[in-house]
Amino acid sequence: MKLPASTEWVLHCATTLAQLEPGTTASAAQLAQYFDLPQAYLAKQLQPPVRAGILTATTGPRGGYRLARPAADITLLDIVEAVDGTTSPYTCNEIRQQGHGALPPEDCRHTCVIAQKMDDAHRAWRRSLADVTLAGILATLPPHAPDRTRRLLAETR
Amino acid sequence: MKLPASTEWVLHCATTLAQLEPGTTASAAQLAQYFDLPQAYLAKQLQPPVRAGILTATTGPRGGYRLARPAADITLLDIVEAVDGTTSPYTCNEIRQQGHGALPPEDCRHTCVIAQKMDDAHRAWRRSLADVTLAGILATLPPHAPDRTRRLLAETR
């Protein structure tokens, strides 16, 4: 059960973009240099969060990425699910209904109790991530962090 | 983020073994026929829970698998982690410490706040699964279920 490595990239890029001055953007080239990541591959990984309405991508000489909505309205769950999808890690293939021990259909009107408990755990995981916003993450950073982030980003291109 | 398909197999086999009379076992052949699963591959998937002390495998003509401890002392977390390991799905590669924006080591004495929040979510998932025992699962089954399970298992070999 693994999230893709790009989960860390997108979480950190979104946290970085949350520190920009309003109305400004950072390009894939800048973010790639900021974190020493491969630019083309990073740009590809930033597409799903754009499609999910978390980031906005603008084109042109001053174009780049910015948050599509306030940092208080973007949760870690939004970002992680934009990267990896919303599916539960547990797949129920209904083996209770196959083989010599197969349960009859009338005993299978409700979700299998094992699948229910696995879904409960997935819900607990989702709830935990839904409780954390980018604004909440920013609030834990040292007071000088956004200035430093903007300064170092400005030095990249 | 996917658990292997064998997670369902092992969870259902353990639930089945929890319904046996004390002192009896079920073989891989019986369990495979009960759920219509490939026997050799199922036997292989039952090894990690044996190594983890969840199941006991006995050899000989009346040999097979049984629970290694009471159903009240085996949680879904025990089983799922025997199958898939205990690692968090999120990997922190410390990208905060690389590239033009690299944080100095003195700012990285504590775990990255994003990794902390991802770990919190993993802990919530683990806690949810640790709260459910095989005895708890059995308590949700209809009263006739264990008799039926034993009868159908006895018809397989």
Give all domains of chain B, ordered by start, each with its CATH number. Answer: 5-88+133-155 (1.10.10.10)
Does residue B110 belong to the interface with chain A, where contact is any CB pair within 8 Å? Answer: no
A99 vs B35: CB contact, 8 Å cut-off? yes
Structure pTM? 0.94
- Structure-model confidence comparison of residues B107 and A72, the more confident one: A72
B1 vs A1: CB contact, 8 Å cut-off? yes
B37 vs A95: CB contact, 8 Å cut-off? yes
Identity at B155, one-letter amino acid code: E
Cα A139 from Cα B93, distance rounded (Å) = 22
What the block records as the tokens of B149 is 């399970």
B117 vs A137: CB contact, 8 Å cut-off? yes
Residues 13-52 of B with CB under 8 A from A: 15-16, 33-37
Q: Is the model's pLDDT at B157 over the cut of 90?
A: no
Does residue B96 belong to the interface with chain A, where contact is any CB pair within 8 Å? Answer: yes
HEC profile for A4-49?
A: CCHHHHHHHHHHHHCCCCCCCCECHHHHHHHHCCCHHHHHHHCHHH
Option in B34, B96, B99 nearest A100 (CB): B34
**What residues have CB less than 8 Å from B73, skipping those under 6 apart?**
B133
Does residue B152 belong to the interface with chain A, where contact is any CB pair within 8 Å? Answer: yes
Secondary structure (3-state) at A65: strand
Return the residue in B27, B92, B95, B131 with the most chain A beta carbons within 10 A, the one to mutate for interface testing. Answer: B95
At B63, the pLDDT band (50, 70, 90 cuts) reads confident
Over the range B12-25, which residues count as b (16 or more CB within 10 Å of their CB) and which as e? bbbbbbbbbeeeeb
Secondary structure (3-state) at A57: strand
Secondary structure (3-state) at B96: helix
- pLDDT at residue B60, as a whole number: 80
Q: Kindly state the average pLDDT of the residues A56-81.
A: 94
Cα B14 from Cα B54, distance rounded (Å) = 9
B124 vs A127: CB contact, 8 Å cut-off? yes
Does residue B6 belong to the interface with chain A, where contact is any CB pair within 8 Å? Answer: no
Q: Is the model's pLDDT at A61 over the cut of 80?
A: no
Q: A35-58 pLDDT, tens per residue?
A: 999 999 999 999 999 999 999 999
Of all residues in chain A, the percent with pLDDT exceeding 70 is 100
Contacts of A1 in chain B (CB under 8 A): 1-3, 84, 87, 89
A93 vs B33: CB contact, 8 Å cut-off? no
- pLDDT at residue A156, as a whole number: 87
Question: Chain A residue with minimal CA distance to B152?
Answer: A101
Q: B23-59 pLDDT, tens per residue?
A: 899 999 999 999 999 999 999 999 999 999 999 999 8
Identity at A133, one-letter amino acid code: T
What the block records as the tokens of B129 is 């699964």
- pLDDT at residue B132, as a whole number: 98
B1 vs A89: CB contact, 8 Å cut-off? yes
Secondary structure (3-state) at A66: strand
Q: A125-134 pLDDT, tens per residue?
A: 999 999 999 9
Q: Is the model's pLDDT at A157 over the cut of 90?
A: no
What the block records as the tokens of B117 is 């929040």
A34 vs B117: CB contact, 8 Å cut-off? no
What DSSP character marks residue A97? G
* Neighbour tally for B54: CB within 10 Å: 25
What the block records as the tokens of B14 is 């353990």
A84, B40, B63, B115, B138 from A134: Cα distances, Å: 18, 48, 56, 13, 42
